[in-house]
């Protein structure tokens, strides 16, 4: 027998003089032969890239890694149970889509041989979930695998898990409460500790979380007013941001990302974003340049995104056509006429929310990289 072999044993079960539970084996059967030596017991598998490529070895050699993925399962289950208790229905929407939309991202493209048409792996389930609101489902959610053909970093993986939910007759303030309660449910399922360490940060998830206006934070940390494009562009130049050809609102948001987001350590809702970068969002009734949108941040990292949803088909169509024309923050390359047609049948006013499951698991398990919480993250190809 070698280390790593899996055996079965028959015999008598009893206890030793030191009361240790022991099997006195009469017969041993080899169930599976290991052809590779396992990692050394005390040091485990330490090469990071090898850990991701051979996750099966990482899992049996490093019990703490196994525990992270058990915690991930508990987090997802707690969130699911919370939403079901709030009368939400869990649904499934297409992962293969003829038109991609619902987020600012580059898609993966594939081809259906029988239908002779190109399709896209979804970047978001948003537009299909809203169709369900039109169809009479007032509370829906999906725990979805999304795909974005973009870079890999400690916070980004091209394939990732997001929970997205929509609630009729709600707004983005209700979605703030849903976010807090989803995270609370996850923490209570893990260990009940609302004070948690993540890297160098001591975080406090006690409800309610802080709420700050986007414009106030931009003024505080960047020293500019988001309604003054010239000043914002001057700040962008100071930060070496290439803003030539950018829409004014995109420049504002890029400056915000550079100057404000690194300071958003404790759980916080940042609300009332520039409307021009939010084509699917209802405008503020007192200021149409402001969108009723928030993003949730923790440890300088976006955790969630939510809107008071736009349900006026004429305004929605005009917004999307501007996006297709290349204005603002690009969300789609082809007009989704069927989505607009669905809105023409009448979508109730609603709030919508998306939360990145992988990032939430990172924070709650104190994992440094998103690849530490995805069982089989995408890797560069290497020659064996």
pLDDT of residue 330: 46
φ, ψ (nearest 5 deg) of residue 348: -65, 155
Rounded to 5°, the CA angle 210-211-217 comes to 110
Q: Give the phi and the psi of residue 255 in degrees, each rounded to 5.
A: -65, -40
Q: How far apart (Å, rounded) are the C-alpha atoms in residues 253 and 231?
A: 13
Strand (E) or helix (H) holding 57? helix 55-61
Specify whether domain 49-209+266-372 bears CATH 3.30.1360.120. no
CB contact set of 162 (below 8 Å; sequence gap of 6+): 124, 143, 144, 146, 354, 355, 356, 357
Cα separation of 186 and 373, whole Å? 15
Q: Which two tokens stand for residue 84?
A: 């079901």
Residue 218 near residue 249, CB atoms below 8 Å? no
Are the C-beta atoms of residues 62 and 348 closer than 8 Å to each other? no
Higher pLDDT, 323 or 57: 57
Residue 260 burial (C-beta neighbours within 10 Å; 0-12, 13-18, 19+): buried
Q: Phi first, then psi: give them for residue 18, nearest 5 degrees.
A: -95, 15
Q: What is the mean pLDDT of the chain?
A: 94
CA distances from 138 to 53, 135, 157, 354, 374 (A): 42, 9, 31, 17, 32
DSSP 309: B
For residues 226, 232, 233, 237, the Cα torsion angle rounded to the nearest 10 degrees is -140
Q: Which residue has the higher pLDDT, 46 or 160?
A: 160
Q: pLDDT band for 375, please (50, 70, 90 cuts).
A: very high
> Cα(349)–Cα(170) distance, rounded to whole angstroms?
7
The tokens for 200 are 């160098």
- 334-341: which pairs have CB atoms within 8 A and are 24 or more residues apart? 334/99, 336/99, 336/101, 336/127, 339/101, 339/127, 339/130, 339/131, 340/313, 340/316, 341/313
**308: Cα within 13 Å, side-chain hemisphere:** 19
Give pLDDT, residue 44: 65
Q: What 3-state DSSP class applies to 30?
A: strand
Domain with CATH 3.30.930.10 in the chain: 49-209+266-372
pLDDT digits 0-9 by tens, 59-72? 988 899 999 999 99
Least confident of 25-39, 127-141, 286-300, 313-327: 313-327
pLDDT digits (tens, 9 = 90+) for 204-256: 999 999 999 999 999 999 999 999 999 999 999 999 999 988 889 999 999 99
Residues 75, 79: Cα–Cα separation, whole Å: 6
Number of H helices, E strands in the chain: 11, 16
Please say if the pLDDT value at position 104 is more than 90: no
Residues 354-367: tens digit of each pLDDT: 999 999 999 999 99
Written as six digits, the tokens of 14 are 């009893």
Which residue carries 């976010």 as its tokens? 179
For the chain, give the number of residues.
384
Among all chains, which residue has been given the structure tokens 């003829």? 98
What is the mean pLDDT of the segment spanning 29-36? 95
pLDDT digits (tens, 9 = 90+) for 293-343: 999 999 999 999 999 999 999 999 998 888 887 754 545 567 899 999 999
């Amino acid at each position: 027998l070698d280390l790593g072999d899996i055996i079965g044993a028959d015999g008598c079960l009893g206890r030793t003089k030191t009361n240790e539970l022991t099997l006195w084996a009469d017969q041993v059967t080899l169930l599976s032969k290991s052809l590779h030596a396992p990692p050394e017991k005390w040091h485990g598998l330490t090469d990071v890239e090898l850990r991701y490529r051979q996750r099966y070895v990482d899992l049996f050699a490093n019990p703490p890694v196994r525990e992270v993925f058990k915690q991930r399962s508990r987090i997802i289950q707690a969130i699911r149970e919370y939403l079901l208790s709030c009368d939400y229905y869990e649904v499934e929407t297409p992962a293969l889509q003829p038109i991609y939309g619902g987020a600012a991202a580059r898609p993966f493209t594939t081809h259906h041989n029988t239908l002779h048409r190109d399709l896209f792996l979804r970047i978001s389930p948003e537009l299909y979930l809203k169709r369900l609101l039109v169809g009479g489902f007032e509370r829906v959610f999906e725990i979805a695998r999304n795909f974005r053909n973009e870079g890999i970093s400690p916070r980004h993986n091209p394939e990732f898990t997001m929970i997205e939910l929509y609630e009729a007759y709600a707004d983005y303030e209700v979605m703030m409460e849903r976010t807090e309660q989803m995270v609370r449910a996850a923490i209570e399922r893990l260990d009940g500790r609302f004070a948690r360490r993540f890297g160098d940060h001591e975080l406090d998830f006690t409800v309610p979380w802080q709420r700050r206006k986007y414009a106030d934070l931009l003024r505080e940390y960047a020293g500019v007013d988001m309604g003054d494009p010239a000043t914002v562009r001057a700040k962008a130049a100071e930060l070496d941001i290439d803003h030539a050809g950018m829409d004014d609102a995109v420049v504002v948001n890029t400056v915000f990302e550079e100057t404000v987001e690194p300071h958003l350590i404790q759980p916080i809702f940042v609300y009332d974003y520039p409307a021009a970068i939010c084509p699917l969002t209802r405008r503020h009734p007192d200021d149409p340049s402001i969108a009723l949108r928030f993003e949730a941040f923790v440890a300088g990292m976006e955790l969630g995104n939510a809107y008071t949803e736009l349900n006026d088909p004429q305004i929605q169509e005009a917004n999307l056509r501007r996006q297709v024309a290349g204005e603002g923050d690009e969300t789609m390359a082809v007009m989704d006429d069927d989505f607009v047609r669905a809105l023409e049948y009448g979508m109730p006013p609603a709030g919508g929310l998306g939360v990145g499951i992988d990032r939430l698991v990172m924070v709650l398990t104190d994992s440094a990289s998103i690849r530490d919480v995805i069982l089989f993250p995408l890797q560069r190809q290497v020659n064996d």
